[in-house]
């Protein structure tokens, strides 16, 4: 039997940095509503940014094997590629383990929040989501620095 959480006590504290990105494919109606502030539930990018930051901070509660990491910074940015909403989350900390899972949780939750806020616009006549999808969620950068003084 293995340990439930990998021991990290022996590891040095170093700067950790990770960037994750993901895409939410939306209908033209949703894109227009988001861009023009016409979503009934409110400002999609503002709410989704808050959701992403909260997810970064709560990652160990969602993923059992993740250590609690003292997050020092988190940045959430949004872009458009056609009808795809692009979320990028950057996380950094000085700690004994990386912050990739935190960045991935931030992206995923940010995109889920956005989808939730426009789901009434995304449904077809039978209540399904034929074109809406999250995709391409991945770590696009990971860095590990020198030991902390």
Enumerate the active-site residues: 116
**Could you tell me where the beta strands, DSSP code E, fall in the chain?**
14-25, 73-81, 84-95, 133-147
The pairs formed by 88-92 with CB atoms below 8 angstroms and a separation of 24 or more are: 88/19, 88/20, 88/21, 88/140, 89/19, 89/20, 89/21, 89/52, 89/56, 90/17, 90/18, 90/19, 91/17, 91/18, 91/19, 91/56, 92/15, 92/16, 92/17, 92/18
Q: Can you read off the two tokens belonging to residue 13?
A: 């504290």
| Matching residue, tokens 């399904």 | 128
Task: Enumerate the β-bridge partners of residue 134.
Answer: 24
Q: Can you read off the two tokens belonging to residue 76?
A: 């959430």
């Amino acid at each position: 039997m293995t340990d439930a959480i990998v021991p990290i006590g022996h590891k040095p504290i170093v700067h950790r940095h990770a960037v994750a990105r993901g895409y939410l494919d939306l209908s033209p109606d949703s894109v227009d509503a988001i861009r023009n502030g016409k979503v009934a539930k409110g400002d999609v990018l503002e709410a989704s940014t808050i959701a992403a930051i909260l997810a970064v901070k709560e990652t160990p509660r969602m993923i059992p094997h993740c250590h609690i990491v003292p997050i020092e910074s988190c940045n959430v940015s949004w872009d458009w590629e056609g009808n795809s909403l692009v979320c990028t989350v950057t996380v950094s900390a000085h700690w004994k383990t990386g912050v990739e899972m935190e960045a991935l949780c931030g992206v995923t939750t940010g995109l889920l929040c956005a989808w939730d806020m426009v789901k009434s616009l995304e449904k077809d006549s039978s209540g399904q989501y034929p074109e809406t999808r999250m995709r391409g969620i991945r770590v696009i950068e990971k860095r590990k620095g020198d030991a902390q003084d």
